[in-house]
Amino acid sequence: MAAAKLSPLSAVFVGAAGGLLLLSLAFPWWGMDFIAPQYPEGLEIIVYPNRLEGDIDIINGLNHYIGMKPFSEESFPELGYLSYIVIAMAIAAFIIAFTRSKRGLYVFIAAFLIGGALGLYDIHRWLADFGTNLNDNAPIDIDPFVPPIFGENRIANFTTFSYFATGAYLVGAAFVCLLVPLWKERKT
């Protein structure tokens, strides 16, 4: 008995998911804005899958006062290999689309879910590490804190806004493209 195949239209959706994954690499995935009376225009950290951008030096200078270790690309080893994982996932999506393998799609969706959960865990882990491992000898003593992955937080006189950016939404759209074949080809 031959293995079940995806319809051509479903294969197009899986291929589109691969394209969206590749496209996501060109955009930031996550960010955090910092607003305070002395910085009304705000400061920001922008996280791409392979680099950090934004007002990193200024934020590190301010974080020194509360005893937080500095942010740098070296602090986040994931930035060295995340792009390769995304490229591998895109290639897997293209292979599944080409072969139209239903079994491959199911395995890929499971891997996508696991990868997404690990990614969210990793962001939370880093936020907790930076916010709770404060230097006891810092000039300003504040209670340890864990900024949210998404949403608003207040730290001293700074209000922070954490958000998912364009790249994360493209990854989300890729996941939706993978779910369409499940719905379209469900057994009645």
User: Residue 149: what pLDDT?
Assistant: 94
User: Residue 75: what pLDDT?
Assistant: 87
User: Residue 118: what pLDDT?
Assistant: 95
Domain residue spans of the chain? 8-181
Q: What is the pLDDT along the chain (188 residues), one digit of tens a residue?
A: 456 899 999 999 999 999 999 999 999 999 999 999 999 899 999 999 999 999 999 999 988 889 999 988 888 999 999 999 999 999 999 999 999 999 999 999 999 999 999 999 999 999 999 999 999 888 988 889 999 999 999 988 889 999 999 999 999 999 999 999 988 776 63
| Helix-helix angle 8-24:82-99, to 10 degrees | 170
> What backbone phi and psi angles, to 5 degrees, belong to 153?
-150, 155
User: Residue 116: what pLDDT?
Assistant: 95
User: Residue 155: what pLDDT?
Assistant: 86
Is residue 78 a contact partner of residue 60, using CB atoms and an 8 Å limit? no
